[in-house]
Amino acid sequence: MNKRKTPIMGWASWNCFRTGISEEKIKEQVDMLVRTGLAEHGYTYVNIDDGFLGGRDSAGIK
C-alpha cells in the first residue's frame, strides 16, 4: 500500500468567492495552482462549492 507523503491538500471556492463563482473564476484558480507551483507540492484538489445548502430558486439562484 502506498502511503501519502503529504496530507490531502487543495483549494476551496467557498473560502474566497462564496456563491459568486463562475467557470472563468474556477479555471483561473486552477491555473494559479499550477503557475505558483502549488500543484507540484501536493495541492491537487479543487473543491467547487456553490452554496447549495441554503437552497436555490427555480432559476438556480439563491
The per-residue pLDDT string of the chain (62 residues; one tens digit each, 9 = 90 and over) reads 678 777 788 888 888 898 888 999 999 999 999 999 999 988 889 999 877 776 667 776 66
**Set of cell numbers at residue 28:** 483561473
Which residue do the cell numbers 473543491 mark?
47
Q: Is the pTM of this model over 0.75?
A: no
Look up residue 51 and give its DSSP letter.
Answer: -
